[in-house]
Amino acid sequence: MTSSTGSSADPSPTDLIVTDAPVRRSAVRRRMFESDSAEPDLDRVRRIGARFLGLGFIGYPVVSVSAIISSASLTAPWWPPLSVLLSVGPGILLVAASFRPGTGWLSPLATATSAGYLLGVALWFPAWDGTTISTASDSAQWMIAFCGMPSMVLMLVHPLLGVAAMIVASTAASVSQQLGRFGELNNDLPFEILWTVAFISVFLAIALVATRTGRMLDETREETYRKAAGVAAAASRQMEKVRFDAIVHDRVIASLLAVGPGRPDAHLAGQAASALEELARVPDPAADHLDMSRDEVIRRIRSAAGEISERTDVEILGRADLDPDEIGTSAARSDGPEAGFPAQVVDAVVEAMSEALRNVVRHAGADAESAVIVQLTANALSMAVVDDGAGFDPDAVAPGRIGIAVSIRERMAQLPGGSARMTSRVGRGTTVQIAWKRA
């Protein structure tokens, strides 16, 4: 549920030198054929699909040179280069846009791609000089070879529009093909159109299944997040109950029973102070200008969350969620020497978390459950603030909303190594991911 924080150890310069070429080639492959693992699966399917289809629009004129040449004798000189441009141009735009974040560009580009193809086929009719091909194996209309590709691009975003575009494109391309071959339409035209539609429908079905699978994976992930938040909240409440029971039994009651007439010794006073500190979890103000230990960071996070809402549970992942009696011992530090966290980093992360929790209190709903899931490593601090409340549409949030823009995103963006990401859907709660990685 938390965002990726990377490994706790950076590669050495020697490792970088030895593996430089393979890593570079691997990065190029990932850049071409994969996508950002943090984006939704539906967006990933659409992005990669548009990239491959764009490459197809560019590649078809290359492999269809002979068909372009043979069909050029039937039309005015201006049509062959224009038809190639209407194929290659949208392909270049699709490939270039697929490297941009998000998929907001896909819908207008898919519409433009289909419109460009239909325009190219439509212009064939006024460009046709009325002659026919001399060899039956030649193509009278080279664009018929990929009449299904524009509808496949549309299928990624508008399935019904994609089907309609397929029927129109198949019909227009088949008509132009028959005119260029025979000079007239014959009785085979309906069967040719039907065969073309059936053939293309197989690929449209694949595109539809891919997009629906991506959407289903996104919905499954969100459901998993909600269930994980519920489990984490229940586990956190139980752990807190056990922790408080242990503190009250082993420290508070023990301290009270040890009090006798006269002045208590220094050891008893220290024991009582330690119990109160553990119950209150109040951070030391003097530590604001110093690096904070992992234990202090945890106390600060719990304290800030508790001040905003007593219903918010805090779950610490990894070795940091040991019993309070073990914190600070060798058992708690079995993963290596503990590195301090800069105070400004802790301040920024805690304030961003606090704003996210305040938004939960204000907007999630009275019955909403929330949890803060934290992960600390030697070089990173990350957390997810999750709720199962009303949710919202992030695209509908006004730019002037200071809580999200300034208190969360901008605060973390100004922090070196910091980042913040928010995902939400109406009726499905909200997840705010806050992360910092040591440079």
CB atoms within 10 A of CB 191: 10
Q: If we measure between CA atoms, which residue out of 278, 259, 363 comes closest to residue 328?
A: 278
CA end-to-end span of the chain, whole Å? Answer: 23
- pLDDT score at 262: 62
User: Percent helix, strand and coil across the chain, each rounded to 5?
Assistant: 60, 10, 30
Q: Dmax of the chain from CA atoms?
A: 119
Q: What is the pLDDT of residues 362-405, one digit of tens each?
A: 787 777 888 899 999 888 999 999 888 888 877 666 655 545 65
Predicted confidence band at 113 (pLDDT cuts at 50, 70, 90)?
very high
- pLDDT score at 38: 55
- pLDDT score at 255: 59
Q: What is the pLDDT of residues 83-96, one digit of tens each?
A: 999 989 999 999 99
- pLDDT score at 122: 93
- pLDDT score at 202: 92
Mapped onto helix, strand or coil, the DSSP state of residue 63 is: helix
Question: 158 φ, ψ to 5°?
Answer: -135, 85
Q: What is the pLDDT of residues 316-334, one digit of tens each?
A: 886 544 444 444 443 344 3
- pLDDT score at 126: 94
Tokens of 424: 């939400």
Distance CA 379, CA 437 (A): 6
DSSP annotation of 256 reads H
